[in-house]
Homo-oligomer: A and B are copies of this chain.
């Protein structure tokens, strides 16, 4: 079932494909909006053809299009354009993530849309934005990750370039686009006026970097890859254990002393090389060696229990299986079930935005088959 939520009553017409736009409209659907995907006939959203597949159907598409409706329209044909325009009359928000200029070619640029549908909010998520000299460049998640700087601070000094293991280029843009759309909806509730929201994947990479850009302008030097330690707090990094790794975050002197006691290494707390954070930063390598001499004598789960009871912040490096088995996941309904008529039942990630007074159901409706809701939509528009 579709969750009731704070956006109940909001209708989103969704021309977007693949990930950035669909992620935005998925969040809105999770918050109660009705989302109608308008897809090209025959092939539909490209993501319908992305693996992995379960019984021939894309699990990738399912994961970001659950709970939406679908109608197939060819926006180059007059009859379908008339249906699309009827949809816009009933809509609150239009979302697309075409290359800039595409909507203008279709005759649906902002001036046209705003003139004909003055209350409509129009959100465009693109690679480089709707303005500027490089606006029309093609963008892919990895290209934007590379160009926006996040790859330059991720990984290990001297090591190979490292992509963030999730599509942060697309998902980041999806999140900022959602913030833009919701603020425009709030504004419209007060003024009745629709606005255009223009979000670039590349700009969002800079916004996610915040701290690294500030450090560059303060020092004049672009920061390098950060490995797996805090740049200015010690110990605050990944350590080896007997069977894997543990992250220990002893952010101040009191926690440092607690850590030494908990590990049975009280002498380290008295060691002159490690008395203050500043000294620990200077002697970070010797300190790591000293701690790992103890940590590698037992498994991560042992040390997690020891550090938890000592009140020292620490955590394992979970793989995806382990992460989904952490007790908070079930307690907070962070895996929801989708019972698909073809794929069967499978868990997917739930909604991380918990809002008091709205139900957070344990199931979600599957993603629609292409054009699945045509008859119902035409009927609503008085076209049956």
Task: Give me the interface of A with B, judged by CB distance under 8 Å.
Answer: 5-7, 9-10, 23, 27, 31, 50-52, 54, 59-60, 62-64, 110, 128-135, 138-140, 142-144, 146-156, 159-168, 171, 175-180, 182-187, 189-190, 193, 195-200, 202-219, 222-230, 232, 236-238, 245, 247, 249, 251, 311, 313-324, 326-329, 331-332, 334, 346-358
Q: Name which residue of chain B comes closest to A351, CB basis.
A: B207
12 contacts between A and B (CB under 8 A): A6-B187, A52-B215, A52-B218, A146-B245, A149-B322, A151-B165, A162-B162, A165-B225, A179-B182, A206-B329, A210-B348, A213-B349
Interface contact A318-B146, CB-CB below 8 Å: yes
Question: Looking at the complex, which one of B138, B190, B316 makes contact with A189 (CB distance below 8 Å)?
Answer: B190
Contacts of A129 in B (CB 8 A): 328, 332, 354
Q: Name which residue of chain B comes closest to A163, CB basis.
A: B228
Interface contact B60-A320, CB-CB below 8 Å: no
Contacts of A187 in B (CB 8 A): 6-7
Interface contact B160-A348, CB-CB below 8 Å: no
Contacts of A149 in B (CB 8 A): 318-320, 322-324
- In the complex this chain forms, how many copies of it are found? 2
Q: Name which residue of chain B comes closest to A236, CB basis.
A: B142
Interface contact A150-B166, CB-CB below 8 Å: yes
Contacts of A147 in B (CB 8 A): 315-318, 323, 326
A279 to chain B, nearest CB (A): 16
A175 to chain B, nearest CB (A): 5
Q: Name which residue of chain B comes closest to A193, CB basis.
A: B357
